[in-house]
Structure 1
Amino acid sequence: MTNATGGRLGVAVIGAGMMGADHVRRIDEVISGARVAAVADIDEARAQDMAAGIDGCGAYTDPVAAMSAPGVDAVLIASPGVAHEAALLAALERDLPVLCEKPLTTGSESALRVLEAELRLGHRRIQVGYMRRYDAEYLQLKALLDSGELGRPLMLHCRHRNVSVHRYFTDEMLINDSVSHEFDAARWLLGQEITAVQVLRPTPNGHAPAGLGDPQFVVFETDAGAVVDVEIFVTSGFGYQVQAEAVCERGTARIGEAHGLMTNVNGRWGGAIAPDFLARFTAAYDREVRAWVDATRRGRVTGPGTWDGYAVAAACEAGIEAQRTGRRVPVRMIDRPPFFS
């Protein structure tokens, strides 16, 4: 699965916004064994600007044209979620390996269509970009829980805080854009599926955009009886924090405290808080894309896949209904096909 350009994997990057630009930089400057062969964006000038500094990289406005460009062996999708289904189906039609930024698609029905298309293809081609699975602290916590040293996990407490969000941010985006990460992380850490979601609403932050009910407290249950809670607070004003604490039968384990460099100066002590998700998870993104490139060059697909994207989409739909109704809402999913076991 390598082209003639130095044996490197030729990648078409679909979407040239903040995330796409960061991945283009990553593949071009950080990841060995791959090259950016094409860039596609609805904004032609932006695609051309991004491709201009990379030898042999073409610029396109049509994702399908970018996938069909010379030297393209694989696809990285970083376009808005509403465009993912069409791009994923086009990649599957061409039997191209894909790393798709979350969400897989914007709903469970469209995710199911992609899942069924991959089933018909008969082999895995899609990895979904849940980068927390590649974060060093999350990997430590996963290994500890899997070891059984602390006994069965009973509860998982999570905090997800941003400095601020755009004025157009909505309640639904709290679930789809933010808590979706906790849905996947909890499923992965615990090895369990989410069965029901409930959302509680404290008094809104006075600094939140008009109409946004921030913060919120999301509680969900799993099929093995664990309970997970998530404080989602996207207008905290002070920094970007992602934290998790597993409460188990014989102890607890906590990550995300950011105990790096500590200073004592002018009668105060303290450290730094990351300003955004790119700063906090840079190393995780690097590790994720490197793992995807290495696996793809070996003809394999590893990491979170189509089933994970579908399961998170179903949990998000339950979460949005719980937001709207104030009720505990069951997660509605098909049975997991053996293909994805």
Structure 2
Amino acid sequence: MNTTAPKTEALSFKTPRTGGFFSRLPVVHQLRQSMGWQRGMLITGLVITGVFVLTALLAPLIAPYGFAQRKADSLAFGTQQPPSGEHLWGTTVGGYDVFSRVVWGSQTALFVIVIAVVFSIFLGVLLGLVSGYFGGWLDRVLVVLCDAIYAFPSLLLAIVMSIVISGGRSSMWGGILAAAISITVVFIPQYFRVIRAETVRIKAEAYVESARVVGASSSRIMFRHVLRNATRTLPLIFTLNSSEAILTLAGLGFLGFGIEPTAAAEWGFDLNKAVSDVSTGIWWTALFPGVAIVLVVLGITLVGESLNDLADPRLRGRRAVSAASGDVAETSVVPGGTLTAGPGGLDGLETPDPIGDEPGEVRS
């Protein structure tokens, strides 16, 4: 009996619809994949982070006063003034406008994040790639060195590096570079470990061996084949380290190793000067810088954790996986036809023959 079916019915899949360039962007792609709580966390984190970045970029337009301005129209602001129409969030013990200091402080934090994370990614990825690919004595030396740096408390190491670089206090760009470089030293071992582990795994893959056989140079293999596949987790580490950079910068400023108040606004320094105000009932000088630190760290952390969950298939919800995989039509498991092939269709393969054959027996 001929059970063949038209070839168009033998195997049928529906290809998922794909969007344009915008839908393939990293964060947009994860946003389309997310469902339920994951989507809510990711959107919340993106909104908070976006507000932080826009505030930092538009600080000269948003802030009513300069970060070191103490008077306007030849009139001093006054110290520890409560929130009012003239000063929305009051003034500090040094006579600075709190709202302006918080807005300008976002710009300082963004500069430190960008410089520190870019430097640490460049050095950490380069060292991890070279160490994992070549191995040998260089690998052992770099591993021991990075483990030794990683064993130190991050804030203590940042304080030591800040003192070495700038003596603990400096101008705006000097303080920003000092804080960024000190944070860079803390972050390099993290990127080094991740890239080295991925490089050791990838260099044993078949396509890397094939590249060696055809005569590709070591630099071409590292940067064209290994690096491209070893850096997939960097966006996750980038977001988490950005929030840690803000905390480290605030810790340096709070302990007195930050930037001079006349050189730039910094949230940790403002919190340090507001400690004595809290006990006297002056709450506004410490509340707003503290809330700014908490919100920015929360927003960046939510983005990082959401991207981490969506990057791991085991942590995605079943609905998210089903929505991302598209619709799959019925698939043929019988040569020459679909599941409906055979005498009597699928029922004919499983039910007893009405003439009296054994159950499940199929007549030819």
TM-score scaled to structure 1, two decimals?
A: 0.24
Please, what TM-score do these two structures have when normalized by structure 2? 0.23
Q: Which has the larger radius of gyration?
A: 2
Q: Which has the higher helix share?
A: 2
**Which structure has the highest strand share of the two?**
1
Which gives a bigger RCO, structure 1 or 2 (Cα 8 Å, sep 6+)? 2
